[in-house]
Every structure is written in C-alpha cells, then in structure tokens.
Amino acid sequence: MKYKFVCPMPFIGLSVESDQSVRLCCHISQRDMIKDTSGKPLRFTQVKNISEIINSNYLKQVRLEMLSNKIPAACQNCHQSEISSGHSPRIEYLREFHTDLEKIAPTIQPDGSIEVEIKHFHYSTDNICNLACRMCHPRYSVKIAHEWEKLGLVRPDDPEFFIDTKKLSLLVEENGLLENLLDHLSEMKITGGEPFLSPYVEFLIKKMAKHPRASEIELSFYTNATTYPNHLLEDFKQFKKISFFCSIDAVEELAEYIRYGCDWNEVKKNLDKFLELSKQPKYDLKIVTTLSAYSLLGLVNLLKFTFSLKIAELAIPEFNPVFAPATLNLNVLPKELLMKIKNEITHFFESNDLDGSIRKRHSVHISKLFSLIDTALKANPGEKFLDFLLFSKKLDQKRGDSMKDVLPLLFKDQPS
C-alpha cells in the first residue's frame, strides 16, 4: 500500500476522552472531536452502535482524504513531527498495524464507510486522580477540577469535570458497546486520571477478564505510580499481556513539585513493585516523561536515576512534549539555558554510556529528545520566560510551593 500519508487509526482505531467524547486517535487536538450530523460531539456511552462513530461523516472523510494522498487537517501533529524528527505516532501505528490496514483498506466503500473492526482502543476513562500536575487539566484530574471550582472557573455540577463513575458503569452495562468492541480488539490503552484509583476502570477490567477473548487482548496502563494495582492482579492473569507506563518527570523534590500531591519515596516503592512484576513474561514496564520546561531543567538528575536502575530497557525514558499550557513549553526557557541543558545531557550520555550501547538501544527516544530541544531553540526561545515565571509564581502561592527551592538554577542570575 503506497500512499503519501496513511494511518491505521481512522480504519481500526478509536480514542475516547474522559467526558466520553471520541477522537480518531489520542494525538489529535481537542478541537477535532468526532461530531454527529447536528455538529454535537458524539459520546461513547450514548451511541447505540460503534458503527455510528466509525462510519460518522467525519471519519469517512478522513479515510477518503488519506486514500487520495491528502493530509487531513486533524493529523498535522504527526505530519509536523515527521518533518522535524522523522518520528511520529503514525509511523509507530503503521509498524504495528500494517497488516490490518492492508486487509481493511481495499474494502472501503465509495463514501468512506467500512466494516467495523476496532483493533486499538485508547480509553481515557475518567478524571479520578490523586494528583494536580502542573501541566494537567480538570479533564484529567478531579483534584484540579476542585481547584478550578474554588476559583470560579468550573461549576460544581459540570459533568465534564465531576464524573459519575457509577453512572458510566451502568451505561456501559446497558448499551453493550464494550462487548461490541471486544469482538476484534487486540490492544487497549487505558489512561486517566489515575487508572488504578478508578472504580470505573476496576469495573471494566473485571468485566473484560470474563470475556472469552481476554487472552487475545493486551492492556496498557498509564499510571503516576503513586499506587499499585493489588486489586487487579488476579484479573490481569486472564489477558495476553499487561504493560505499565509509569509517568515520571523528575526525581525527589522536583518530582513532587511538578506532580503536586505525589510522594517521591512512595513512587520509588511502587516502581520497585512494578519492576518485580515485570520480571514475569507477560508483564512489561516503561518509564514515560512529559517534557516541560520544569522537567527539562531536572532531566540529568532523572537520567541518573533511570541509569541507576541497571536495566538497559529503562535507562532512557520515552519523551512526550507538553502541549498545554503553552507557558510550560520548552521554548519558554532562554536560549543560553537550553544550550547549557543540551550540553549537560550530551555530556551525561558520553560519560555514562561509554560504549554507546544504551544510546543505540534508545536511539528513537534520544533523537526525539534532541529534536524537541532543537525545535525549542528555533522557536523564539525565552520570549515567554516571564510568563513562565509568573504562571509558576501564581501556582506556588496557591499551593504553598517555591520554584526557587526546587529549581535554584533559574534564579541564579535573575534579580530578586
């Protein structure tokens, strides 16, 4: 199959947000939610059949555009990433689902409709979470929703931010969509909130574990590692594979500063438990870092920690750039500081990976890291540095934190 820009997700994927709105994948903008014929967002828990989503006018148009060698507007994130670094989620999806795409693309109807066979399902189930991370949003953390409520930014009865997980469970039980999905599903990515604190996630996993196809399905969980899923270990045994993606952006005081509410010592204890579990064949563990101005400033210390684990696979995290708020993007940092950090990272790799084996193993992650820094260096670095400091100061005052204490490097040459 030779097309200029084709991706498996509009054909065999689906992504659902915590408010149950749907996207063709989790990497596109919130602006590009799938809508019904009246222009209202489609909701996963409100449709009667998955086909209403998969064969919506929006997705039919996206498929036709791809097969006509056009790049859909919603897919610009991947397109720009490929231009700047040669990597993107689309390329990863093609590697994994190339065969499925080859099978289904020729069956597409003239209007863009297809037979529904969901292989990849990303579910941001709800916003039940115990943290209020600085780069997060009420949509993904009820703790932040409560902060915004006190500031008058959200209503206490807003169902988008104060989610009734019992109601969700009942809706999924009634509409039978989960069973509809499981007919062809090969992998499900579960994010939150914090999945292992969610009653709704527990309901889903226990229900899925009883399905006759459970042993053919791989589950991936994105967790903040502040808790450990003892209550789901027996259910996990029913599935083909379980992967844990632990979100760790920094270590010690900076970790607690960025991911407000976390206890670094508790995170380390739980990480040890995940490491022990990952020694069993069907379990896998990865470390994922959201790369913001904060985490970049502490990245060398994080790398010292991941290297200290003495596990080559975990030595270098997978890096994902922060998209919002813009005041936390890498390019808010001054050019001189970005260059200093880039040089420190380079020196760390050269000093701690003498034979280059780890860098070779993680070449994609390293390439993405330096590409993100280089992109920041070209994007008016430091222009919004004051906005970054003011944003941090306001949040510090509200939470009783101090950026000067955890990131003194920032204030070394700044007037008091």
Q: What is the dihedral of CA 249, 78, 336, 257, to 10 degrees?
A: -20
Structure tokens belonging to residue 48: 């009667």
Round to whole Å and give the CA distance between 218 and 241: 5
Length of the chain: 416
Q: What is the span of the domain harbouring residue 68?
A: 22-115
Report whether 74 contacts 28 (CB < 8 A).
Answer: yes
Count of domains observed in the chain: 1
Per-residue pLDDT of the chain (416 residues; tens, 9 = 90+): 566 788 889 999 999 888 888 888 888 877 778 887 788 888 888 888 888 888 988 899 999 998 888 888 888 888 887 887 777 888 888 888 888 888 888 889 999 999 888 999 999 988 999 999 999 988 889 898 888 888 777 777 777 777 777 777 877 777 777 888 888 999 999 998 999 999 999 999 999 999 999 999 999 999 999 999 999 999 999 999 999 999 999 999 999 999 999 999 999 999 999 999 999 999 999 999 999 999 999 999 999 999 999 998 899 999 988 877 889 999 999 999 999 999 999 999 999 987 889 988 998 899 889 989 998 999 888 889 999 999 999 899 989 999 999 998 787 755 44
- Number of neighbouring beta carbons within 10 Å of residue 38: 5
Task: Let me know if residue 190 belongs to a domain.
Answer: no
Task: Let me know if residue 159 belongs to a domain.
Answer: no
Task: Let me know if residue 246 belongs to a domain.
Answer: no
Element (H, E) at 120: strand 120-124
Closest to 134 (Cα-Cα) out of 297, 34, 268, 255: 255
Round to whole Å and give the CA distance between 360 and 364: 9
Dump pLDDT digits (tens) for 69-112. 888 888 888 888 788 777 788 888 888 888 888 888 888 999 99
Burial of 28 (0-12, 13-18, 19+ CB in 10 A): buried
Burial of 141 (0-12, 13-18, 19+ CB in 10 A): buried
Round to whole Å and give the CA distance between 401 and 395: 8
Task: Let me know if residue 241 belongs to a domain.
Answer: no
Task: Let me know if residue 371 belongs to a domain.
Answer: no
Task: Let me know if residue 237 belongs to a domain.
Answer: no
318-321: strand order across its sheet:
22-23, 13-16, 120-124, 187-191, 218-223, 241-247, 283-291, 318-321
Dump pLDDT digits (tens) for 351-366. 998 788 998 899 889 9
Task: Let me know if residue 69 belongs to a domain.
Answer: yes
pTM score of the predicted model? 0.90
Task: Let me know if residue 89 belongs to a domain.
Answer: yes
- Distant-in-sequence, close-in-space partners of 194: CB < 8 Å, separation ≥ 6: 128, 129, 130, 131, 223, 224, 226, 227
